Structure 1
Amino acid sequence: MVFHPPSWVPQLPFDPPDSIPIAEFMQNEQYGRYPISQSRNPFTCGVTGRTYAVNEFFARCDDLSRAIARRMRWSPNEGTTWDKVLAIFSLNSIDWLTVCYAIHRLSGIVSPANAAYSAAELEHQLKSSGAKTLVTCVPLLEIALQAARAVGIPDDKVFVFSLPGVDDSSIRFKAVEDLIREGAQLPALEALRWTKGQGARQPAFLCYSSGTSGLPKAVMISHRNVIANAMQHTAFDKPARARRGITTQNTLGPLPLSHIYGLVVVSHTGPYRGDGIIVLPSFEFEQYLGAIQRFRVAQLIVVPPIIIRLLRTQEVCQKYDLSSVRFVYSGAAPLGDETISDLKKIYPQWTIGQAYGMTETSTVVTSTSEDDVVNRSSGSLIPGARLKLLAPNGEEITEHDQPGELYVQAPSVVLGYLNNEQATAETFVVHDDGRWIRTGDEGLVTLAPSGNEHVVIVDRIKELIKVKGHQVAPAELEAHLLTHPVVSDCAVIDTPDERAGEVPKAFVVKTPAYAAKPDDEVAAAIVKHVADHKASYKWLRGGVEFLDAIPKSPSGKILRRLLRDKEKAKRGRTGAKL
């Protein structure tokens, strides 16, 4: 059985265009964007207030594209798109999208990298994406240079964002702002000459995801994928906003713009519908609260750990005026009903909704309408999205409240994984009724009190751990742990954490040579081994526990569910919160 959006959800006004770059869609009212003359400035620095109007922003994109074209010797219509890959490894900046659109103007690709990466992790992404140039920032410059030099990117192809409060006057690397000024003095570039359907075939972004399983893979996200999701999300929200008389609003999303949630939901859907996005370099709690107060933010786009922080630090929150907030929109991981209820007791005027999506769907598949909130649900299907639920035996589920694996069909479903045919074939499957993405998530469809169908995410079939919205693949950590001489065998699972949502925990079998060593000493060595080589969100904050053997199936697959059950029982015995 195929589930569809509820009857109240508007259909898309037209098919998402498939032959234009994202920037043209975002600045052309012909494609349904909110009138430019009535729009808020798309990006405003939440620290300094620095901002540019819509037309100024796109002029800066054009200026930057000319400078990059000259320095990289790239032309809009010469060479392949794979010859023009730029990576961004930086904290957030109001010029983040300026760089993206400048590269798209040259028919190139942007590969966003997580700012928490180690040099080795960044090196892997630079190499696998084929990046020829890199934009970073002063706080991350040392790591960026180590990775760039390792893959052969010369120093003169490394550029930096200027960040608030960061002195970059003494560095010898060209700032993006300098490139924009440089490009303003250069002649205009020739127009892009795209063929019919090129926007649907050509990647705009290479974002890294672990998918349904395994190590991080480059997800090929087309221009049309991003365009479609912005249209879908905007159409879904339109009735509720209209009933409240909302034309535009300020939105605060401190999420990393390298993450698909920040990249599409924050940076594209918001500006497309005329909203102003308040940008913070990173999440610092009091800076975050101060930005809400200063810019009268109406919508917060969050991940569950931010909600927990709001609940746990009321003595700090009460120093700020948060009365402008109307809608809190949570994603990246499910938010518990109890947590929502606790927050509503403190802020009864806030509507708290959830959404569901993934990198491979260019973000949103289901969303919560302000008019139809069910705490435990991730909302209803958005326009253009279809859903099937399959039981473990492969049969389609046809009833409400029966869980199964989610399969999704939508115009935002991506092209596939770069240079990984096996993972693409396993994740993007073809049925008699078309191409579907197998999400690896277990969910169900239920009827809300309103009578509308809602999607509830029950559990993750895939083995990912979500730390503050970041994906951590157990296989990656297990492979790394096995390089340590102490570790004979191992498994990594998630364990609950109040601040991060989940954190990794390792179960380890010692090698015989270390069997007699004290557990505390060996555990400390293992924790340090991960901390020395991996991004901080991948650290073993859940600890290390030693076993005689790792439970496995006859085929050798680690039975992580047994370890999770063991961990849950242990927390129950000790009275720890789940």
Structure 2
Amino acid sequence: MAVVHSRFAPLDLPEKDIFSFIFERNRPICTENHTIFQDADTDKAYSYADVRRLAQGFGQGLKAKFQWRNGEVLSLFAANSIDIPAVMLGALWAGGIFSPINPGYTVGELVNQLNDSRPRAIVTQLQLLETVKESLNIAKMSKTIIILLGDERDPTGRVPHFTSVRNISGSTRYQPAKVDPKNDTALLVYSSGTTGKPKGVKLSHYNVTSNISQLQPGDQEYLTWNGSKTCGDIPLPKSGCGDRVLVCAPLFHIYGLTKSIINPLYTGTTAIVMVRFEIEKWCALVQKHSITFSYLVPPIVLLLCKHPVVSSYDLSSIRMANSGAAPLSQGMIESCLKRTGIRVKQSYGMTETCPTVFNQTWDDWNNPIGSAGQLLPNVEAKICPPSISEIPTASDDLEPEGLPQGEVGELYVRGPNVFLGYHNNPIATADCLSPTGWYRTGDVGYIDARRTLFITDRVKELIKYNGFQVAPAELEGYLLDHPLVNNCAVVGIQSEALSTEVPMAYIILKSGAKAANKEQAESIIQWLNSRVAGHKKLRGGIKFVSEIPKSASGKILRRVLKEWAKAEGSKGSAMGAEVVRARL
């Protein structure tokens, strides 16, 4: 099985800019006054018509006040807000590139991204204004490029709100920009940077609209503004209601941008937008709004399985949930279903694929449980021998032959949703994207006879024990089934005694468990070691911690954990409780 093709028929993908793709359609997807975005805290809402009007007005304002030109960057440095869709679409209407930034960044981190993208304007919130001003000063950029969004205005009146950036002259000369959908960048989204400085991923209009279209068959087609469609035994929304999506993913991430902004506008569903995720608030909002769908990440699914507050709320309105960012174990999916009744399907992708390439359909969400689903229409994939180098380099073969069906290896994909390349970084682009469009994902897994993908780990995260490769995610899946373990992360540490890498686990105990002690650690180690092959045993031991460092998208920051382990090795137990080693 060299190259795998989708079981779905190829789609005739439109070559349109994102604004036209959403708003200029043969027939309306919903009524003009239908609510698309609603603030979870204030209940302030924007209708389909509101978003289009605000976006066009802002786009015209950018041309009138900033003399906006095609290809100029508009950065966003803000927490989740229902103003973001209009700001993003307004920038695209004007021919701009929309580039979101993590609002949790420090001044130094923000400066790095500003220096790389060099935005023509930056949109932020009042509470982040001083951080932006300081960063612009260091980057030697004018503070006159700042624009605000949200309910708070600048008390000095010097920084305009996005609703006041408009064409006050009434001139009709400001028309939507003409763009080349396949070759012009629409989104400049920076990767998480877990393997170094973040890289700007260039996504074209065609990349984005293709992925939205690819997700319709068997998935997004069941999310409707009037609650009119379902499949199998999955219930329709309650009578008189359409689908309502609870947005808890950060909108600066590709997962949030496409799933929580563009998808609702394209399908007509109502998105209830949280500023940030909190488990009890999430549950309360599901109950209050009769939420039918939500995009999740594994840490949230884990909370649904284990947090005591979940039992206090009625979550039965949820028809389906989708988890991305990292693989879920079969045990966790089954536990979530048993406790909450929530079906959790999975999808697989990354920023470079806009983001989805494999997806479980609604009628196949539990067949088999734990898979990342099937290949989207118009996408090709192959499993190849893992590269010798853990970080892609130009010397690697980017077009290797595929392995036979069922064998584990590194995933390569090619399709209309694969990115254009990295901004200002042709070397990094050449390291992972072949001349014929094959993208080396860096993820390890296999594809079965049903053309279903199972991800087992990342190439760079594999632990190499005496020549054997050990997948941290597999060991984490086992540990999460232990009755005392609330959360965990496994990394490889260098053993001087064995002259090889060995697996080590960082563990958060469940509330109510006895205080962490050596006997507990040894018990967990022996419990795990009895369930795995010899080369997978926790020879690096266990350390109990109060938190596991994770990125905004929910991925474990193994680099940080390895730094902790290195510091502990050189300074004893400076990081806290001692590491308990395995008795083998």
Q: Do both share a fold (TM > 0.5)?
A: yes
Q: What letter matches 2:98 in structure 1?
A: V
Partner residue of 1:455 out of 450, 453, 456: 453
| Kept after mapping to 2: 8 A contact 1:2/1:386 | yes
In 2, Cα distance between equivalents of 1:264 and 1:574? 48
Residues 1:128 and 2:126 aligned together: no
What whole-Å deviation, never above 9, does each CA across 1:451-497 have from its counterpart, x for those lacking one? x321000110145999xxxxxxx9xxxxxxxxxxxxxxxx9x99656
Residue in 2 aligned with 1:200?
182
| Kept after mapping to 2: 8 A contact 1:42/1:277 | yes
Please report how far the alpha carbon of residue 49 of structure 1 lies from its aligned counterpart in structure 2 after TM superposition: 1.4
| Kept after mapping to 2: 8 A contact 1:260/1:359 | yes
Q: What letter matches 1:4 in structure 2?
A: H
| Kept after mapping to 2: 8 A contact 1:67/1:186 | no
Residue in 2 aligned with 1:341?
334
In 2, Cα distance between equivalents of 1:494 and 1:112? 35
Q: What letter matches 2:343 in structure 1?
A: T
RMSD: 3.3
Partner residue of 1:170 out of 133, 152, 155: 155
Segment of structure 1 superposing worse, 203-212 or 220-229: 203-212
In 1, Cα distance between equivalents of 2:558 and 2:157? 32
Residues 1:386 and 2:380 aligned together: yes
Mark the CA change 1:571 to 1:88 in structure 2 (over 3 Å): closer, same or farther: farther
| Structure 2: 5+ residue stretches without partners | 223-228, 388-396, 463-471, 474-490, 492-500, 510-555, 571-578
Mark the CA change 1:371 to 1:572 in structure 2 (over 3 Å): closer, same or farther: farther
| Kept after mapping to 2: 8 A contact 1:212/1:427 | no
Q: What letter matches 1:86 in structure 2?
A: L
Please report how far the alpha carbon of residue 537 of structure 1 lies from its aligned counterpart in structure 2 after TM superposition: 7.6
Please report how far the alpha carbon of residue 369 of structure 1 lies from its aligned counterpart in structure 2 after TM superposition: 1.1
Partner residue of 1:228 out of 210, 228, 232: 210
Q: Normalized against structure 1, the TM-score is what?
A: 0.74
| Kept after mapping to 2: 8 A contact 1:351/1:370 | no
> In percent, how many aligned pairs have the same letter?
28
What whole-Å deviation, never above 9, does each CA across 1:272-294 have from its counterpart, x for those lacking one? 12211111112233332222122
What whole-Å deviation, never above 9, does each CA across 1:20-73 have from its counterpart, x for those lacking one? 32111111223xx86232894221111111112212210111111222323323
| Kept after mapping to 2: 8 A contact 1:236/1:382 | no
Partner residue of 2:261 out of 257, 267, 273: 267
| Kept after mapping to 1: 8 A contact 2:54/2:86 | yes
| Kept after mapping to 2: 8 A contact 1:43/1:278 | yes
Mark the CA change 1:47 to 1:189 in structure 2 (over 3 Å): closer, same or farther: farther
What whole-Å deviation, never above 9, does each CA across 1:112-171 have from its counterpart, x for those lacking one? 1011211111111111001122111123222222112222333332122225xxx54635
| Kept after mapping to 2: 8 A contact 1:301/1:330 | yes
| Kept after mapping to 2: 8 A contact 1:221/1:362 | yes
Residue in 1 aligned with 2:323?
330
Please report how far the alpha carbon of residue 323 of structure 1 lies from its aligned counterpart in structure 2 after TM superposition: 1.7
Please report how far the alpha carbon of residue 417 of structure 1 lies from its aligned counterpart in structure 2 after TM superposition: 0.7
| Kept after mapping to 2: 8 A contact 1:367/1:379 | yes
Query: How do 1:365-444 and structure 2 match up within 5 A?
Result: 365-372=357-364, 373=366, 374-392=368-386, 396-430=401-435, 434-444=436-446
Residue in 2 aligned with 1:3?
4
Please report how far the alpha carbon of residue 441 of structure 1 lies from its aligned counterpart in structure 2 after TM superposition: 0.7
Partner residue of 2:354 out of 347, 362, 365: 362
| Kept after mapping to 2: 8 A contact 1:111/1:205 | yes
| Kept after mapping to 2: 8 A contact 1:39/1:274 | no
Residue in 2 aligned with 1:187?
171
Query: How do 1:203-352 and structure 2 match up within 5 A?
Result: 203-209=185-191, 214-237=196-219, 241-243=229-231, 248-314=242-308, 316-348=309-341, 350-352=342-344
What whole-Å deviation, never above 9, does each CA across 1:283-316 have from its counterpart, x for those lacking one? 23333222212221101101111112222322x2
Residue in 2 aligned with 1:532?
none
Mark the CA change 1:352 to 1:498 in structure 2 (over 3 Å): closer, same or farther: farther
Q: What letter matches 2:80 in structure 1?
A: N
Residue in 1 aligned with 2:107?
119
| Kept after mapping to 2: 8 A contact 1:401/1:444 | yes
Q: What letter matches 1:330 in structure 2?
A: S
| Kept after mapping to 2: 8 A contact 1:3/1:387 | yes
Residue in 1 aligned with 2:447?
445
Segment of structure 1 superposing worse, 111-120 or 282-291: 282-291
| Structure 1: 5+ residue stretches without partners | 467-473, 475-490, 500-535, 551-569
Mark the CA change 1:285 to 1:366 in structure 2 (over 3 Å): closer, same or farther: same
In 1, Cα distance between equivalents of 2:247 and 2:116? 29
| Kept after mapping to 2: 8 A contact 1:132/1:153 | no
Residue in 1 aligned with 2:73?
85
In 2, Cα distance between equivalents of 1:305 and 1:106? 38
Q: What letter matches 2:316 in structure 1?
A: S
Segment of structure 1 superposing worse, 368-377 or 114-123: 368-377
Please report how far the alpha carbon of residue 242 of structure 1 lies from its aligned counterpart in structure 2 after TM superposition: 4.3
Mark the CA change 1:212 to 1:117 in structure 2 (over 3 Å): closer, same or farther: closer
In 1, Cα distance between equivalents of 2:142 and 2:504? 39
Residue in 2 aligned with 1:95?
83
In 2, Cα distance between equivalents of 1:252 and 1:572? 43
Give the secondary-structure state (helix, strand or coil) at the position aligned to 2:175. Answer: coil
Mark the CA change 1:94 to 1:251 in structure 2 (over 3 Å): closer, same or farther: same
Residue in 1 aligned with 2:549?
none
Q: Which has the higher helix share?
A: 1
Report the number of matched residues: 469
In 1, Cα distance between equivalents of 2:112 and 2:402? 40
| Kept after mapping to 2: 8 A contact 1:335/1:376 | yes
| Kept after mapping to 2: 8 A contact 1:159/1:173 | no
Mark the CA change 1:189 to 1:304 in structure 2 (over 3 Å): closer, same or farther: farther
In 1, Cα distance between equivalents of 2:262 and 2:504? 32
Give the secondary-structure state (helix, strand or coil) at the position aligned to 1:414. Answer: coil
In 2, Cα distance between equivalents of 1:572 and 1:297? 46
Mark the CA change 1:548 to 1:50 in structure 2 (over 3 Å): closer, same or farther: closer
What whole-Å deviation, never above 9, does each CA across 1:77-108 have from its counterpart, x for those lacking one? xx451xx2111011011111211111112111
In 2, Cα distance between equivalents of 1:171 and 1:87? 22
In 1, Cα distance between equivalents of 2:75 and 2:445? 35
Q: What letter matches 1:356 in structure 2?
A: Y
Mark the CA change 1:572 to 1:429 in structure 2 (over 3 Å): closer, same or farther: farther
| Kept after mapping to 2: 8 A contact 1:308/1:498 | no
Please report how far the alpha carbon of residue 199 of structure 1 lies from its aligned counterpart in structure 2 after TM superposition: 1.2
Q: What letter matches 2:455 in structure 1?
A: I
Mark the CA change 1:119 to 1:331 in structure 2 (over 3 Å): closer, same or farther: same
In 2, Cα distance between equivalents of 1:286 and 1:548? 35
In 2, Cα distance between equivalents of 1:50 and 1:237? 28
- The higher-RCO structure (CA 8 Å, 6+ apart) is 1
Residue in 1 aligned with 2:538?
none
Partner residue of 2:67 out of 43, 64, 73: 73
